[in-house]
Amino acid sequence: MAFNPSDEYEIPPKIQRIIDTTPGFMPKEEGRYLHQLSLTSPLSPTSKAIEIGTYCGKSTLYLALAAMKRDSHVVTIDHHQGSEENYPPFPYFDNRLYDPQSNKLDTLPIFREALRLSKLSDYVITVISDSSAFSRLYQNQSAAFLFIDGGHSALQAWKDYINWADKVQIGGVLAIHDVFEDPSLGGRPPYEIAVALSHLESFTALGQVGSLAAFRRIS
- CA distances to 7, 34, 63, 82, 110 from 37, rounded to whole Å, are 14, 5, 9, 26, 25
Q: Do 120 and 114 form a contact (C-beta atoms < 8 A)?
A: no
Is the entire prediction scored with pTM above 0.85? Answer: yes
Dihedral over Cα of 84, 19, 76, 182: its sign: negative
Residues, the chain, total?
A: 219
Q: What is the pLDDT of residue 88?
A: 78
3-state secondary structure of 53: coil
The question of whether 79 is a catalytic residue gets the answer: no
Q: Tens-digit pLDDT profile for the chain (219 aa)? A: 655 656 889 999 999 999 999 999 999 999 999 999 999 999 999 999 999 999 999 999 999 999 999 999 999 999 999 877 778 777 778 878 888 888 888 999 999 999 999 999 999 999 999 999 999 999 889 999 999 999 889 999 999 999 999 999 999 999 999 999 999 898 899 999 999 999 999 999 999 999 999 999 999
Q: Which residues contact 15 (CB under 8 A, 6 or more apart)?
A: 61, 65, 118, 120
Annotated catalytic residue: which of 79, 152, 177, 199?
152
Report whether CATH 3.40.50.1000 matches the domain 7-77+107-150+167-181+189-217. Answer: no
